[in-house]
Amino acid sequence: MNKKGVSPLIATVLLIAFAVALGAIVMNWGRTYVEEQTDNAQELSDQKTTCSFDVNIKILEISNQKKLCYNSTAGTLDLTVDNRGRKTIESFEVLVYNSTEDIAVVQVNQSINIGRPLKQTITHGLGGDLDFIRVTPQVRLVTNGALITCTESEIKDDDLSPCT
């Protein structure tokens, strides 16, 4: 009986050390994972809060007349957007849909200051009568300066008429 092996005391110490090391690795990974998820949730929350509470755009109306019309031969859209929110709109995107089901998306890199309507002629290049437009504002977040698109605050309008 000249067999040699690890004594029970050393085996116990090795198992405990292995369990502690494995626990430390799992806890470190878990902490990193939780921090990343928390950061993502915070950023998404900032975006939703900003878009819901600070962004409010409308098509300007004067004497119950919308400042919105199109020129089918020139392929243009005239609209006046009013910023009624608490943040400056950095830019906006206009989606135009015509009667032949063609779609054009135009990015307008013009800011709309708070309380100051912006009149803009947008060249979309589609012919025919327009059936539908959607205006989607884009703002900067205060926390990280990222430009975000606020689909929650977009304007949809299907009451379009030719310019006179």
Quickly name the fold that domain 7-164 has: Immunoglobulin-like (2.60.40)
Q: Give the E-state strand segments of 54-153 in sequence order.
A: 57-59, 61-62, 65-66, 68-71, 76-83, 91-98, 103-108, 118-123, 130-140, 147-149
pLDDT at 73 > cutoff 70: yes
The predicted structure's pLDDT at residue 18: 95
DSSP state, residue 4: -
Tokens in use for 157? Answer: 């309008």
What's the pLDDT band for 1 if we cut at 50, 70, 90?
A: low
**Predicted confidence (pLDDT) per residue in 121-156, tens digit:** 999 988 888 999 999 999 988 777 888 999 989 999
Averaged over 57-80, what is the pLDDT? 90
Q: What are the extents of the domains in the chain?
A: 7-164
Global pTM value:
0.72
**Predicted confidence (pLDDT) per residue in 95-117, tens digit:** 999 888 889 999 999 999 998 89
pLDDT, the chain, mean? 89
Closest to 150 (Cα-Cα) out of 39, 77, 53, 40: 53
Q: Which helix (H) or strand (E) holds 157?
A: strand 155-157
